[in-house]
Amino acid sequence: MDVLDLARTQFAATGSLHFLFVLLTLGLAPLVAIMHTRWARTGLPLHERMTRFWGQIYLINYALGIVTGLVMEFQFGLAWSGLSHYAGDVFGAPLAMETLVAFFLESTFLGLWIFGWGRLPKWAHVACIWMVTATAYGSAFFILTANAFLQNPAGAVLSGGRLELTDFGALLTNDALVYAFPHVLGAGLFTGGMVLVGASAYQLRRRTAEVEFFTRSMKTGVITAAIGITVTVMFGYAQFAAGVQPGKFSGNAAAAVPLGFMVEGGHLFSLIVLFFMLPCIRLLPRWRWAHPLLIALTPLPFVLAVLGWLAREIGRQPWMIWERLTVADALTPGLTSGMVTASLAGFTAVLGLLAVVDYVLIARIIRRGPGDDLSLGAAGERRAPALTY
């Protein structure tokens, strides 16, 4: 492989690994917020325990996902300085907003939610997790704004050999953005819902004592997955009709392969979720014969989402910015195969290890079940019992 192919492979590998964390974050954040709201309204211990249990899984995924996101930023300076020079004034603006939203606002509200157990007033505590969800979605919006600019460079003109932003509104209403954003949010909800379904099926098949806990979790996951897959498919097809990059996939066999698997997989999942899981939602928790199938389906939304992302990016080749800047011109001058190979091996090893650690920790929590000894916020409540609600 030459330097260009190595650099593309590096970004594809690190981007795909990071996207695994993003999907689960976008899917679990609103679910945990809904569970916490139910607890605040009803005061039922079941809703409290659901909030703590699924909140732990969200926190593990979020913490490790942050580290993988840093690697993405490094690569723009290391391997793609041509992009930064040519379009940094436009492309960098939404990336900067994403950093401010993700690392400052989202992390701040998440910290308040974690350490606010037993300290904050009830509804202020609920507001924190809803702000975590809102800022997570805001972070995704700005990332997709930057990516949509690469797909369709709206709102910018060439001036002095560099792109200059002239219409910020056009950047935020890009046709490549308005359909992709809900498409990704739908994929996140679908993924988060299927994680609840698979984890609950695992526990119920083991004849757990927490039958009510995981029965309710499974039903929540099925409803969420049904909403998510519907939104994903609807806005997925809407992107084909948007008119951005017409004929994008017709002449690109490399992009057609992941796209075909993603589309057919989406159709199959739609049939399973909407015509089997949703109509049988009351029976699924008791159907032990169906639980191995539900467990086996859990990782597939991650696979389909990565395939979709690869199709979106490969379909733009050979352009880094559509019909403005080629990938070859965006590459940092002076890079050697040895340099890129070393960074590819290092980044992939670190991110791959983080992904393995993430899912091993999540699997351990799911296997252990909703115990009270390590529950989210338990230590804080023991120090301030008078402030619990």
CA distances from 388 to 33, 48, 117, 372, 378 (A): 18, 12, 7, 16, 11
- Contact status, residue 23 vs residue 185, Cβ threshold 8 Å: no
In this structure, are residues 133 and 29 in contact, taking their beta carbons and an 8 Å threshold? yes
What pLDDT score does 134 carry? 96
Tell me the residue ranges of DSSP E strands in the chain. Answer: 156-159, 162-165, 319-321, 325-326
Burial annotation 23-51 (CB, 10 A radius, 16+ → b, else e) = bbbbbbbbbbbbbbbbbbeeeeebbbbbb
Mapped onto helix, strand or coil, the DSSP state of residue 173 is coil
In whole angstroms, what is the distance from residue 224 CA to residue 216 CA? Answer: 12
Closest CA to 172 of 150, 144, 198, 193: 144
Assigned domain for 199 exists: yes
Mutual orientation of helices 300-314 and 253-272 as an angle, nearest 10°? 150
| Residue 346, domain member (yes or no) | no
Domain total in the chain: 1
Gyration radius (Cα) of the chain, Å: 22
Assigned domain for 192 exists = yes
Single out the residue of 294, 289, 262, 298 nearest to residue 277, CA to CA.
294
Tokens of 330: 């965006």
- Domain boundaries, position 203: 180-241+246-311
Indicate whether 323 belongs to any domain.
no
Structure-derived torsion over alpha carbons of residues 303, 146, 180, 74, reported in degrees to the nearest 10: 10
pLDDT in tens, the chain (389 residues): 899 999 999 999 999 999 999 999 999 999 999 999 999 999 999 999 999 999 999 999 998 888 888 777 788 888 999 999 999 999 989 998 988 887 789 999 999 999 999 899 999 999 999 999 999 999 999 999 999 999 999 999 999 899 999 999 999 999 999 999 999 999 999 999 999 999 999 999 999 999 999 999 999 999 999 999 999 999 998 888 777 776 666 667 778 888 888 989 999 999 999 999 999 999 999 999 999 999 999 999 999 999 999 988 988 889 999 999 999 999 999 999 999 999 999 989 999 999 999 999 999 999 999 975 445 655 444 333 333 33
Q: Report yes or no on 12 lying in a domain.
A: no
Is residue 187 assigned to a domain? yes
User: Given this model, what pLDDT does residue 385 score?
Assistant: 34
Question: What's the confidence (pLDDT) of residue 248?
Answer: 66
**pLDDT value at residue 67:** 82
Nearest to 23 by CA among 65, 56, 57, 82: 65
Q: Residue 247's pLDDT is what?
A: 62
Asked if residue 295 belongs to a domain, the reply is yes
Determine, yes or no, domain membership for 214: yes
Partners of 156 in the β-ladder: 165
Say how far apart CA 322 and CA 316 lie, in whole Å. 7
Q: Measured between alpha carbons, how far is residue 81 from residues 74, 173, 335 in Å?
A: 10, 26, 11
Give residue 305's identity as a one-letter amino acid code: A
What pLDDT was estimated at residue 377?
58
Helix, strand, coil fractions of the chain, as percent rounded to 5: 80, 5, 20
- Can you give the pLDDT at residue 317? 86
